[in-house]
Amino acid sequence: MLATSCAGATSSSNHETGGLVLLSLADGTRTAQATIGSDPVAVIVSDDGRTAYVADSSPGDVYAVTLPDLHVSWRAHTGGAPFGLLLHDSRLLVSLFSGAAVVELDPVTGKKLASHPVTAGPGVVSLDASGRVIVAGTRGEIDYLDGTSVRAGHGYAVALSGVDMWTADYERAELVRAGDLHVVGLPMPVFPFWLSAGGHGTILVAAEGADEDHDLGGVFAFEPAAERFETLALLHDPDQVLLSGDTRFVAAHGDREVVAILADGSVKTLASDLPAVALAADPALNLLVVVANDHE
């Protein structure tokens, strides 16, 4: 997709090829863009809104990028196809999808501080209701960094509703509650890739069609207590959905759009001609940080 410069990032006049794009949270105005790595797949933002951390999968690198100027502070080579990112307890935790590990990096310098073996194919890194680090697993488990695990769906994502951990079983088109393996099927035959908290105990779900580039996928709000889904939008290859304020933002990779689903349920295209695969809200700077990647 992109050639990584020796400095780690360059300005790019061709935003369609990928990297990081900054949009106004309010109206989608593009405020900056830069080439970061060659296969970026995930991003998170620091609590103060001044740094974005980017997972660059194929080269096995993690970047720290200052906001809003998009200057690379450091690049750390982790190997292992970095994917899940979490800032916790003055550490940047990174799951290595092909490395069967979660590594801890110093968020200021990128120095590797520790490594924890987990089951092969780890995905999203998050916290359980007690504040312990959890890792979604594509082999049917949620892993803890102390080596223990609980049974779950075979998927990439996990999200909390109260104390319950819900996971996505990608191939079975189901959501699975970790521990007791209670299953709820999706309302249509689409395959859940991303889960996130949707407020008031709900969980947001981004699910791909059978052919992610051609078949419609869905974005849903799931109410675990009622086991009810609300269909929010039908999009091609929705890779991530997140809530910021009262708006749900979607990286609709197949449609090459970033979509905003407003509180009244209306759907608005926030940005077009942008192969978005990942998002992070930055309310402190009124920005939406978008990872664009033509290859995903």
The whole-number pLDDT of residue 213 equals: 78
How many CB atoms lie under 10 A from the CB of residue 77? 13
Mean local confidence (pLDDT), 3-25: 55
Phi, psi of 243 (to 5 degrees): -100, 130
pLDDT, tens digit, for every residue of 224-276? 999 999 999 999 999 999 999 999 999 999 999 999 999 999 999 999 999 99
Confidence band for 286, pLDDT divided at 50, 70 and 90: very high
Q: For 270-274, which contacts have Cβ atoms below 8 Å and span 24 or more sequence positions?
A: 270/23, 270/27, 270/28, 271/21, 271/23, 271/28, 271/30, 273/15, 273/16, 274/15, 274/16, 274/21
Could you tell me the pTM of the whole model?
A: 0.93
**Amino acid at site 14:** N
Per-residue pLDDT tens digits for 89-141: 999 999 999 999 999 999 999 999 999 999 999 999 999 999 999 999 999 99
Render pLDDT for 198-238 as a digit per residue (tens, 0 to 9).
999 999 999 999 998 789 999 999 999 999 999 999 999 99
> Of 1.10.468.10, 3.20.20.70, 2.130.10.10, 3.90.230.10, which CATH number belongs to 20-293?
2.130.10.10
Instruction: Tell me how far apart the alpha carbons of residues 36 and 32 are, in angstroms, rounded to a whole number.
Output: 13
Distances (CA, A) of 238 to 40, 174, 179, 250: 16, 16, 28, 7
Distance, CA of 16 to CA of 100 (rounded, Å)? 32
Position 14 pLDDT exceeds 60:
no
Show the tokens assigned to 134: 């959890």
Total length of the chain: 296
Instruction: Specify the DSSP element, H or E, that contains 31.
Output: strand 30-36
Judge residue 161's burial from the number of C-beta atoms within 10 Å of its C-beta, 0-12 exposed, 13-18 middle, 19 or more buried.
buried
What are the residue ranges spanned by the domains of the chain?
Answer: 20-293
Q: How far is CA 57 from CA 78, 102, 278, in A?
A: 10, 14, 13
The per-residue pLDDT for 3 is: 31
Residue 296: the pLDDT is 67
Arithmetic mean of pLDDT, 70-78: 98
Average confidence (pLDDT) over 147-165 = 97
